Amino acid sequence: MSCLDLTITSAALAGKCTWTVHEDNLGSDHWPVVCEIQSAVQRQNFNQSARWGFKQAKWKEFYGEGKGILEGNIEEKYNKVVGEIISAANQSIPLIRGNRKKKKSVPWWSEECTVAIRERNKAFRILKRLITQDTVVEYQKKRAAARRVIKSAKRKPLLLSLRRGQASVSYAQSLLGAPETRLTTLSNGLRIASEETNQATCTVGLWIGCGSRYESEKNNGAGFFLEHMAFKGTKKHPQSALEQAVESMGAHLSAYTSREHTAYYMKTLAKDLPKAVELLAEVVQSSSLSEADIEQQRSVVLRELEEVQGSLQDVCLDLLHATAFQGTPLGHSVLGPSANARTLTRNDLVEYINSHYKAPRMVLATAGGVNHDELVGLAKQHFSGVSFEYEGDAVPVLSPCRFTGSEIRMRDDALPLAHIAIAVEGAGVASPDIVPLMVANSIIGSYDITFGGGKHLSSRLARLAAELNLCHSFQAFHSSYSDTGLLGIYFVTDKHKIEDMMHWAQNAWMNLCTTVTESDVARAKNALKASLVGQLNGTTPVCDDIGRHILNYGRRIPLAEWDARIEAVTPKIVRDVCSKYIYDKCPAVSAVGESVYFYI
């Protein structure tokens, strides 16, 4: 039984339709049904305004009709007519001041969009003059093409603006639109830096130029211990009152310690900035440091030290610092040894604060919905009392940290994989070589076994790792300090692949010194630029960037300057700089895991 053929029409149209069966089945197993509509197509006419037909004009008659007007002094008649018109206009037409509104520009608009819209409008004008099937089809094609071009333009990779409320903008626009960082110094040497972005929230914090590098063997870990004590109450606010004050604002109070920096910061609503600055000032200057709290936190710190031992990457990189900078303060770990955590006293912590928490080494940094002048006033109110003098003028001076090519291996056959780091001495934060080394690291890149792409990955070392199954993961790193650094590669691999991965990692270094190409550098520069902008996503990363830059450089280096420095890097510069730091240099190596015995 065959299915019925149906035609659905309106009641008015059904009376004009006739149905017939086509004589040819056109190669199908069904006879086609033809539906014909007995109706004439009416052409739609557009009413157009009348225009002068100058080509058919009878100029002699026109001259004759206007002969009386043109006789005599034409200039006088012209001035009289124009004067009458202007006089009538002044009496009856009001004058309007102001500029005509301009169309709002959009950052994604391109020349292709302009051409596509122009072609669409041209097709529409032709369609208005003559409606045929060809003109209708042509207009539809141009309209669809314009839509595709605009849709494609909107979807191009764009970087988010650093200003809140702006639409997505191009990379160049994000550089130009980055707000200025304002800097003020108080009489005691404390610096205030801010970036105003008119947001509803802000991050405010105190960055201090001290860390594990400023510690001795005896008090190593004091800075990390103080970080835990910071939230256990102040002389004015006990722990419960401090926690309640922070929670009542809906704020987030945090801290961190590194080898050269310590930071205490709070993210809160912009309207609560005065209260946030007040609390931060108390935490840094008036921490209670009660014996009971110290004993309580001692167990917490010891527990954290045990947990860190489970993070083999942290263990491996701490061992790398210990062997590369052996016998110097940079060899100290940030957390310190467990023996110190058990023996540190209140006097040790107080002495550490009195020695390092000095105004010239502090930066009050903010980002978000803040006003710089208001912030300066708050800083004067709460931080003017911070000392800038040292006992006996004993200003602590960082001793140079020498790099030693060496190795340290910690074998543990219970671990399924080997964690290995190899590094040479890198550049300090203020060195002009820092940017070429960043580009070099970007060329090497990173890899994880979960990545897709395989042999199509952009990094040569990543392609080899995927094709030859060299490792589970690797990443190039450059840890920079005030006067030195570590340039290296960290990887995780099976014990049978250690020597292969070590060979290809060093081969990647040699390629940087000898055969790096224009395309390698171009790709690395693009990746590096995107990383620099992408990591400043939010007020807290921006605030951290401001604080560290003021401590390292004495100013905030703008994104546009970073971009110019990166753009200036050439393959020759990469080869020369990498030869300076890598070629014929003795590396430092650390290894943790099963069968970590291998040749370098």
How far apart are alpha carbons 358 and 387 in whole angstroms?
6
Asked if residue 205 lies in contact with residue 280, where contact means CB atoms within 8 angstroms, the answer is: yes
496 by Cβ neighbours in 10 Å (0-12 / 13-18 / 19+) ranks as exposed
Q: Which residues are 196's β-sheet partners?
A: 368
Q: Residue type for 275, please?
A: K
Q: Alpha-carbon distance 468 to 580, whole Å? A: 30
Are 464 and 470 in contact by the 8 Å Cβ rule? The answer is: yes
Residue with tokens 């076994």: 449
The maximal CA–CA distance of the chain, rounded, in angstroms, is 117
- The one-letter code for the residue type at 172 is A
Token pair listed for 95: 């004058």
Handedness of CA 190, 195, 198, 201 (dihedral sign): negative
Edge to edge, the sheet with strand 252-257 lists 181-185, 191-196, 362-368, 201-208, 262-269, 252-257
How would you classify the pairing of strands 418-426 and 181-185?
Answer: unpaired
**What does DSSP say about strands 362-368 and 191-196: parallel, antiparallel, or unpaired?**
parallel
Among residues 479, 475, 459, 478, the alpha carbon closest in space to that of 467 is found at 459
For strands 473-480 and 485-493, give the pairing: antiparallel
Coil, helix or strand at residue 556: coil
**DSSP labels, 290-333:** -HHHHHHHHHHHHHHHHHHTT-HHHHHHHHHHHHHTTTSGGGS-
Cα angle 267-272-275, degrees, rounded to a multiple of 5: 95
Closest of 439, 404, 444, 447 to residue 423, by C-alpha: 404
The one catalytic residue in 196, 227, 260, 282 is 227
- Of the candidates 275, 287, 216, which has an alpha carbon nearest to the alpha carbon of residue 249? 275
In angstroms, the CA 211 to CA 21 distance is 92
- Angle (CA) 506-512-516 rounded to 5° is 135
227 is catalytic: yes
DSSP conformation class of 391: G
Give the count of beta carbons closer than 10 Å to the beta carbon of residue 215. Answer: 23
- H helices, E strands: number in the chain: 22, 14
CA 351 to chain centroid, in Å, comes to 39
Report the catalytic residues: 227
